Structure 1
Amino acid sequence: MYFKVLYMDTKNYHEDLSHIRSMMERSSRFISLSGLSGVFAGLAAIIGAVYVYFVFQREGIDYFDGDRNIYSPALVKELLIAGTLILIAAVLSGYIFTANKSKKKGLKIWDGTTKRLLATFSVPLVTGGVVCLGLLYHHLFALVAPATLIFYGLALVSAERYTLTDIKYLGYCQIVLGLVSFFFLGWGLVAWTLGFGVLHIVYGLIMHRKYK
């Protein structure tokens, strides 16, 4: 009888520890990030890349020539607008799917953890944005795609501390892809499509299946 009671107490003790760990995980990490948001962000990136490719065809630009291409101010403006629309579509889809997931789980989407996540994520992302503007200013267009991949990857790795641990692996892939594309400048658009498009879709599907 004594051993039975001791066993039950030990079992309850371990269950309490598991519950406490779960509560600490919820309070310290943003766990409502939706895998489907990654899928839609990837689809938006692929659609945008296809659009950019046809814009280059229209302008008679062979993107695979890399740093030998010259872009007019009007073309740069059009590409910036396209990139902004892709970003807005990705952010909106991410918010909608994440908000729905948070609502189903009864969790707040905006709290201290979310603020820390956004702050950590924003530092390398904003830094990368300024670097890319500098590259555009100096007409180093072929370096923009690799730079966006690298800084975005760094932002994901930094944000891992406050959200799903798996996100760092997506970040590592983005960084490696960006570094490789620095040595193949004419393939920047392809690398960008793989990074922001294909990798996002694959990651999103895996996360959706793992955390649904």
Structure 2
Amino acid sequence: MDQKDILKEIGQIRSMMEKSSKFMSISGLSGVLIGCLALLGSAAAYFVVYGTKSVFGYRDYYVLDEQVLYKLIIIAILVLVISVTVGVIMARAKAKKAGQSIWNPTSKALLKAMAIPLLTGGLFSIILISKGVVGLVASTLLIFYGLSLAAASVFTFREVRVLGILEIVLGLLALAFPGYGVVFWALGFGVLHIVYGLIVHKKYERK
């Protein structure tokens, strides 16, 4: 066995070790579906706040009516629950097809890495809402969600890190331009997820 063969074999072993330490059961198509759900949720939120006859554009005011706020919270919870359900079901199906378990040390480490930023962002948003600072909620959730993805990217596709960074950038832009909160929300949770899902599906899942 010459030096080239040895280096090739070492490279294959390294690749196998890297794959075994990564959670690869995240479905790209689930990202597309979750993105579509987020776009529907964003559209519903816009119409709840501004009405069906409102002209699309920059908003420098926020509706603090309790009924509107409750409707927005319900929309957010519905989108979150359905998205998580879709993600888990499709990840389980992908893992089963590959003869793997969705619940393993790598997936546990991934969830732990995401938990702190997500919980912090969620609690911070609840405090903002309780104080009536609704205009900063969209940017807060985008930033903390991006941080959670960046932390979790160590345990899964490298594209997740790029997605996380882009979410943070959009969150900062939403913070600078709070009147476009719904737009940045749609771009971050909707469009970026669709693009990410298509890339992952094409790169790792299509055969």
Separation of aligned partners in 2, 1:41 and 1:31: 18
Deviation at 1:93, TM superposition (A): 1.2
TM-score (norm 1): 0.89
Amino acid at match of 1:199: L
Q: Structure 2 unaligned segments of length 5 or more: list them.
A: none
- What corresponds to 2:179 in structure 1? 186
TM-score (norm 2): 0.91
Q: Is 1:150 aligned with 2:116?
A: no
- What corresponds to 1:65 in structure 2? 59
Amino acid at match of 1:203: Y
Deviation at 1:15, TM superposition (A): 4.8
- What corresponds to 1:3 in structure 2? none
- What corresponds to 2:111 in structure 1? 118
Separation of aligned partners in 1, 2:110 and 2:101: 14
Separation of aligned partners in 2, 1:58 and 1:188: 16
Amino acid at match of 1:49: S
Amino acid at match of 2:87: G
For these two proteins, the number of residue pairs brought into alignment is 204
Separation of aligned partners in 2, 1:79 and 1:151: 19
Aligned counterparts, 1:85-96, within 5 A? 85-96=78-89
Aligned match for 2:25, one of 18, 22, 32: 32
Matched-pair contact (CA < 8 Å) for 2:49–2:63: no
Separation of aligned partners in 2, 1:125 and 1:109: 21
Aligned match for 2:34, one of 28, 41, 49: 41
Aligned counterparts, 1:1-212, within 5 A? 6-7=1-2, 11=5, 13-58=6-51, 64-66=58-60, 68-212=61-205
Larger displacement relative to structure 2 (147-156 or 52-61): 52-61
Superposition CA RMSD, Å:
2.0
Greater helix proportion:
1
Percent identity, please: 42
Larger displacement relative to structure 2 (54-63 or 119-128): 54-63
Separation of aligned partners in 2, 1:10 and 1:181: 52
Deviation at 1:179, TM superposition (A): 0.3
Q: Structure 1 unaligned segments of length 5 or more: list them.
A: 1-5
